[in-house]
Amino acid sequence: MTTSKPPVPIYIPALLILASATSILATDLYTPSLPHLQGVFNTDASRVQLTMTLNLVAYALAQLFFGPLSDRIGRRPVLLAGMIGFAIASLGCAAVTSIDALIAARIFQGLTGCAEAVVGYAVIRELYDDAGAVKVLAAYGMSIAIAPAIGPVIGGHMHVWFGWRSNFILLTGLITLAVLLIWRYLPETLQKPDRGALRPRRLLRGYATLLSDGPFMTYTLIMSLQLGGLFAILTAFPFLFIESMGVPTEAYGYYYATIVLAFFFGSLLVNRAAGRIASDPLLAFGLVVSVLGELAYITLLALDLAEPLSITLTQCAFAFGLGLIFATAPVRAFDVCRAGHGYAAAMLGALPMAGGSFGTFCIALFHNGSAWPSAIILTVSTLFAGLLYLAIRPWRVQVGGSKSASE
């Protein structure tokens, strides 16, 4: 017999949302500036796009360390240390004088800014039962969606009014506020530190267990493929809309905000349905909607009907499905995993961000100024995610790793 967990003060998820939203802004806030950085640093689009790709690679890899570290010394100190490093990195981004220095500062920003992602998942899963975690993650997703929705809008205007460096100065101020509030109010949620969590053999064994866990990896890879598509949008669309289609820099953010709001509504649907509809049907519905959105994108290009508004509408379908997936897949992945929550949280953070970095890498590799590279990458990633889900059928596994009775 399971017992319900005690009520959690509302300010706890609010603090986690503040931390995560600030980190997410590091990616979205300066995207309207990306096409202009070519002239600032006398470089090409592919090199500018590396500031996105390598940031995500660092973000992904560091989580594999931060997860076990939080198992060893606690969630709270890892989160605070990462955020302080993020503040230093943001100041470094604002001060650079070359594209190589910006790439290096963005790598450091990724290394330090990932702490809130891995710690946030673990804290939520430790504080809430299954239904509560789904609701909180859905609300978490909806709230965090506000950051990338308003980020490019704010970033575009700040670029026009104050220059591209002002975006990183703003990030420094926001993360400093978040550090002060989390230091004051966030309690430690780890009940018993694992003193052997950082032993190399334990690390290898823990991650090997997860990598060989088919259902866990299915949910995680679905998130990875979908996030690869989202970051393909983030990297490709500023060049496509601003350079190729003539959208003003300060107006680009409104198109992207529309896409992110669709993600918000997908998360809202999960929040309303949690407790009445199981996680897997909601996830499957999200996959179907995402696939249909990308097939519509390909169709627009084939019929020569692509323009900023029509492209944005197809990506709203993708993002709506993404909202359903990201509110349900992490909970199911935690349910079926056969390793500790720190390892699972690290893998759930690392692999999706690795997928995101691969999406940006593909955009940089195939960039030609047209919409076709992004359309092909998005369509392939969403179709493969759906096929993977059908092939592995992870919904058969219940909490604790056992198969359902129907099997």
pLDDT, position 406: 37
| Predicted structure pTM score | 0.74
Question: Do 246 and 227 touch, CB atoms closer than 8 A?
Answer: no
pLDDT, position 341: 65
Question: Do 222 and 390 touch, CB atoms closer than 8 A?
Answer: no
pLDDT, position 117: 72
The two structure tokens encoding residue 243 = 């350079």
Burial 190-210 (b: 16+ CB within 10 A, else e): beeebeebeeeebbeebbebb
pLDDT, position 131: 67
The residues near 153 (Cβ < 8 Å, ≥ 6 apart) are 253, 254, 257
H or E stretch covering 117: helix 115-127
Q: What pairs with residue 52 in β-bridges? A: none
The residues near 290 (Cβ < 8 Å, ≥ 6 apart) are 226, 229, 317, 318, 320, 321, 322, 325, 382, 385, 386
Map out the domains of the chain with their CATH numbers. Answer: 11-187+198-396 (1.20.1250.20)
> Rounded to the nearest 10 degrees, what angle do helices 279-302 and 214-238 cross at?
40
Q: What pairs with residue 277 in β-bridges? A: 274
pLDDT, position 49: 85
pLDDT, position 403: 55
The alpha-carbon radius of gyration of the chain (Å, integer) is 20
Residues 213, 119: Cα–Cα separation, whole Å: 22
DSSP state of 188: P
Q: What pairs with residue 403 in β-bridges? A: 397
* pLDDT tens series, the chain, 407 aa: 445 666 767 777 778 888 888 888 888 888 888 889 989 999 988 899 889 889 888 888 887 788 788 888 888 888 899 999 999 999 999 999 999 999 999 999 999 988 877 787 777 777 776 667 767 776 676 666 677 678 888 888 899 999 999 999 999 998 998 898 888 888 787 777 777 777 888 878 878 888 888 889 999 999 999 988 888 888 888 889 988 898 998 888 889 889 988 988 888 888 778 667 888 899 999 999 999 999 999 999 999 998 999 999 999 999 999 989 988 888 888 788 776 666 777 788 778 878 888 888 888 888 888 889 999 999 999 999 999 999 988 877 765 555 543 34
> Rounded to the nearest 10 degrees, what angle do helices 75-95 and 99-113 cross at?
170
Residues 259, 312: Cα–Cα separation, whole Å: 7
Question: Do 28 and 152 touch, CB atoms closer than 8 A?
Answer: yes
**Torsion, CA 319, CA 320, CA 326, CA 332, rounded to 10:** -140
Provide the 3-class DSSP secondary structure of residue 320: helix
